Homo-oligomer: A and B are copies of this chain.
Amino acid sequence: MDTPSFLLQIALILVTARLAAELAAWARMPRVFGELAAGVVLGPSLLGWIEVNAVIQVLAEIGIILLLFEVGLETDVGRLLRAGGRSTLVAVTGFVVPFVLGFYLSRDFFGLSLLVSLFIAGTLTATSIGITVRILTDLGRQNSPEGQVVLGAAVLDDILGVILLAVLFDFSASGQVDPGKAGKVVMLVLGFFLLAPLAARALSTLIRYFHEISDAPGVVPVLLVSLVLAFAGLAHAIGAPQLLGGFAAGLAVSRRFFLPFAVSLRVDTAFGEHMHEQMRPVIQLFTPIFFVMVGLSIDLSLVDWGSAFIWTFSLSVAAVAILGKLVSGLLIPGSRYTRVVIGMAMVPRGEIGLIFAEIGRASGIFEADVHAALVLVIAYTTLLAPFWIKLYYRWYGHHMEEC
């Protein structure tokens, strides 16, 4: 395809996403639902005008990485660490329960093979940080106490999901599990999360220095975007999801970033605000492309809607996927309302689930109907969660703490 067609596609994606988001907001639905629906409409499911290609994929990835950068930027690290215990509990519960339920459902109820059942179970484990964060941001709850727990838990279960994927992939290839490999991924990801914010912090001080000595404008958008993309690439290189690189960079640049030995690296408030100001239009430009791409990747026209298997399998797996995350908040302290909404916010699956499904399909583990059903499960959780959460806040929001 030639460059002009790409430009028209990008324009079409941006305009449709925005109009659909406005329409959704007008109908009191979540904006992100409009953007996902725009992708479904433009994509192979309905009109078939746009197919996902390398260009759209890169722009979409930049979008989600920049969104996670902004989430990191606005995260209060202290609060996130204080929520750490609860986040870990939510992440582990919400990881184990859907895995176990999904495995038994596939293996014992649908009689699928061990490997297929393991991959189906894996598909259900990781919450989509991107979609969850967008839902909470659309509702203005991203910095609420429950928002911090959910954010931490979503980050943690993405890491768990990636480790599981490494282990299962190994298992599918060699027929046995290599604990050394899993351990290596864990060490690398932990090392990344300890060192990346410090490195990013030092680099952001360099960016500030450049900003001061350069005669020409544009230092902040150019170098900060480079920093974020480089960290995303680095995260990928060590086996973690790219968007976690963006999140780490955002945490580091955040004004609320504080570590005992990083005191001298603190960025002052005015420059922090300048950075955010300069990044905002860039983030707003790229982010919708990601959510449209999620919609574009779902091909509802491939689904054989007449098959009984598709309905029974996808609906029962979806039930397990939803139930498994809904209970994830129950073990932590706090009000009933907060614990329920945390479980609801953990429901949407996305990037990692789609990667599981895609690797399962590409390596021949999943038959076409199982793959279609799993994509459908991800679509259910992604498309429906924003509604429940919005409704729940409307009904019970007054019981929850102000943020």
Task: Enumerate chain A interface residues (CB-CB to B < 8 A).
Answer: 1, 3-8, 10-11, 14-15, 17-18, 21-22, 25, 31, 54-55, 57-58, 61-62, 65, 210, 214-223, 225-227, 229-230, 232-233, 236-237, 242, 278-282, 284-285, 288
Contact = CB atoms under 8 A, between A and B. Distances in A.
B284 A217 contact: yes
A8 B285 contact: no
5 contacts: A3-B242, A4-B242, A7-B58, A8-B230, A282-B285
A18 B223 contact: yes
The 5 closest A-B CB pairs, nearest first, are A218-B284, A221-B281, A8-B233, A4-B236, A11-B229
B25 A242 contact: no
B7 A65 contact: yes
A20 to B, nearest CB: 12
A219 B220 CA distance: 21
A22 B218 CA distance: 12
Interface of A is mostly: helix
A346 to B, nearest CB: 24
A222 B13 CA distance: 10
Given A3-B242, A4-B237, A14-B229, 18 more contacts: A3-B57, A5-B233, A6-B54, A6-B58, A10-B62, A11-B226, A11-B227, A15-B222, A21-B216, A22-B214, A25-B214, A31-B216, A54-B54, A55-B55, A55-B58, A221-B284, A281-B281, A282-B282
A178 to B, nearest CB: 23
Contact of A232 (B4, B227, B284, B288): B4
